[in-house]
Amino acid sequence: MTEDELRKLLESGQPLIAYDGFEPSGQIHIAQGLLRAINVNKMIRAGCKFKMLVADWHAWANHKMGGDLEKIQTVGEYFIEVWKACGMDLDHVEFVWASDLVKQPGYWDTVMQIAVKNNLPRIIRTVEIMGRDETETLTASQIIYPLMQATDIFTLNANITQLGMDQRKVNMLAREVAEDLGFPKPIVVSHHMLQGLSPLESPGIIREADDTTPQAPGLLTKAESATDRAIRLKMSKSKPDSSIFMTDSPTDIERKIAKAWCPEGIVEENPILEYCKYIVFEKVDDLPAQAGMTIERPDKYGGTITYKNYDQLEKDYVAKKLFPLDLKNALAKYLDKFLQPVREHFAKNTEAKKLKELVESYAVTR
């Protein structure tokens, strides 16, 4: 969980095996597609071999796509097609299907070993990893899910778990049991969770936890953990206008960005600034011809300006030298450019197009 642990691993000379996993469910939004590709490529450049788990059995256990495994696996193939088109370095990524992993010798032995070492309340505390709440009535398959996810880490021989902040609790479960089971503790590298676009998920205010003023719904208190905050703010497929999907049209992108929460001069919980920081500047850094982020605007409003890095952009935004509308217009153009290869792939590749049409015909279930 610490930089020192990671540094020790990097200096050990051991092969670096990083893993991430995804539940195939519905269409793929920009956090699962573009942001995941950015993060995976960073790990590869740092010397990691990357294993991507297509968690079809986990999605089945979590009742995704109505519990239809065939549909879940079709969505998994669709996700892979998206990553082919959006710049993920697939030469250094191995896709592993959970339906194959569970057949490996010793897999269910490890699941049972983790199960007998933990009581039910400890496992229930991890259910946020699958988008559930501890107060929900869970099925038996959903109780098994965290045990499987911890087992995945060991079965994949991963020494780095590179997942979102919302997966932290199950990573901690794996670290707790690792040495007793004869495995090294995995190093947990938790990436930032890209937040939703709507104002309901992005109140932009942080209160003192002991403030006696009545709290408005959704406001962040200092007692809230980083994990809980990430989960509260993350984008949701069930609210389509709060997410940019990887095959959205230019019109869709413009409409969603235009409606997005972006209070003038405020950085906290501002999704437009997040998209600039975690997507635009990460992508342009990968393209030497792209010298930062360019904001086009009329001369009377300061004229066109290029920011070499995110910190410069944020400084001007806080000083109200850069206005939300200009920033939104620029962001929409960049996102459209980044997603254009994905749209083209699904338009020109016959098999990819069939997958997309199938996935779009499915009803998304929570």
- Domain 3-188 falls in which CATH fold? Rossmann fold (3.40.50)
CA separation for the pair 67, 308 (Å, rounded): 47
CA separation for the pair 105, 125 (Å, rounded): 28
Average pLDDT over residues 179-206: 79
More confident residue, 127 or 236: 127
Residue partners of 286: CB distance under 8 A and separation at least 6:
41, 87
For residue 187, how many other CB atoms are within 10 A of its CB?
A: 23
* pLDDT of res. 220: 37
Contact 55, 141 (CB under 8 A): no
pLDDT in tens, 303-356: 999 999 999 999 999 999 999 999 999 999 999 999 999 999 999 999 999 999
Contact 179, 211 (CB under 8 A): no
Contact 298, 308 (CB under 8 A): no
Q: Does domain 227-361 have CATH number 3.40.50.620?
A: no
Contact 242, 201 (CB under 8 A): yes
* pLDDT of res. 236: 56
Q: State the chain's mean pLDDT as an integer.
A: 88
pTM of the model: 0.85
pLDDT in tens, 109-154: 999 999 999 999 999 999 888 888 777 889 999 999 999 999 999 9
pLDDT band of 241, cuts 50, 70, 90: confident
CA separation for the pair 15, 280 (Å, rounded): 31
Query: Strand, coil or helix: what is 210?
Result: coil
CA separation for the pair 6, 189 (Å, rounded): 8
CA separation for the pair 142, 159 (Å, rounded): 25
Strands 293-295, 305-307: pairing is: antiparallel
Domain locations along the chain:
3-188, 227-361
